[in-house]
Amino acid sequence: MSIDSAAPVRAEEPAISARTATKRTVLMCKPQFFTVVYRINPWMDPALPTDTSLAVQQWQTLYDTYVGLGFDVHLIDPIDGLPDMVYAANGGFVIDNQAYGAKFTHVERQPEGPAYMDWFGANGFNVRVPIETNEGEGDFLLVGDVILAGTGFRSDSNSHAELSIIAGRPVITLRLINPSFYHLDTAIAVLDDTNIAYLPSAFDAPSLAILQERYPDAVIVSEEDAAILGLNSYSDGYNVVIAARAKDFERQLRARGYNPIGVDLSELLLGGGGVKCCTLELRR
């Protein structure tokens, strides 16, 4: 099956149903030590300068946005020498008070796994230490009672079975094929319990067929918006916090009855992360 990388044709939008915001509880990490000193994804270039103070300012805007939406925002202390710790979504997957820890692929990030598991344990979660390599909510996305799970670059597909046993929910494997979209949360945005947005060209043909069958009314995002990690967004079911420059995605969301809120995380994009990367949902 060939995958057309051209911008999607604007079809008639599905009928809009009422959207309901649900209070979220999330974990974040201030980018106090953010910089780019190694390269483990195509977005990173140690030769390019980074501005830690700007990264903190942009992150603070995201934090303030969540607080303004009524979210319960928890913070984990950043650790000097772990510049990617700001991407809290990669720190684990939390459901039913169980925290399935992360086991990172790259040695540069491996100390983050124990750091996040220590926080989970200290805050009353039942910590499940991983056997298989996985990068948390970077590759695990809950849609209703189903977990979409990415593989191909970071999380091993064996971790999908491991999580399915822990979570007691079906886990659907999706294979990513574009190195720029190395985590599932860069190629799919969960909008609510039944709706998603995604970039077709990020997936192999069998995975794309699964998405098309399960989510026939999904929002298909343009290559241009995906290229600024527009899909790396976070929704409470009505409000969807997205990259400020993802203007066509913003239009699509409004047409579907959502309330998109744009934030600028351009400095953190230098490390390969956006809104969702900075946001780990805590589900008791």
On whether the CB atoms of residues 133 and 107 are closer than 8 A, the answer is: no
Distance CA 147, CA 163 (A): 9
Distance CA 24, CA 18 (A): 19
Residue 74 designated active-site: no
Tokens of 32: 């106090």
Among residues 29, 160, 277, 278, the one annotated as catalytic is: 277
Distance CA 75, CA 30 (A): 8
Helices (H) and strands (E) in the chain, counts: 7, 15
The total of other beta-carbon atoms located within 10 Å of residue 25's CB is: 14
The total of other beta-carbon atoms located within 10 Å of residue 175's CB is: 17
Residue with tokens 């830690």: 52
Whose CA is closest to 90, among 273, 283, 239, 284?
A: 273
The total of other beta-carbon atoms located within 10 Å of residue 48's CB is: 8
Judged by DSSP in three states, 206 sits in helix
Tokens of 155: 């999380």
Among residues 29, 160, 183, 278, the one annotated as catalytic is: 183
Paired strand residues for 28: 75
Distance CA 259, CA 253 (A): 7
On whether the CB atoms of residues 252 and 12 are closer than 8 A, the answer is: no
Residue 277 designated active-site: yes
Residues noted as catalytic: 183, 277
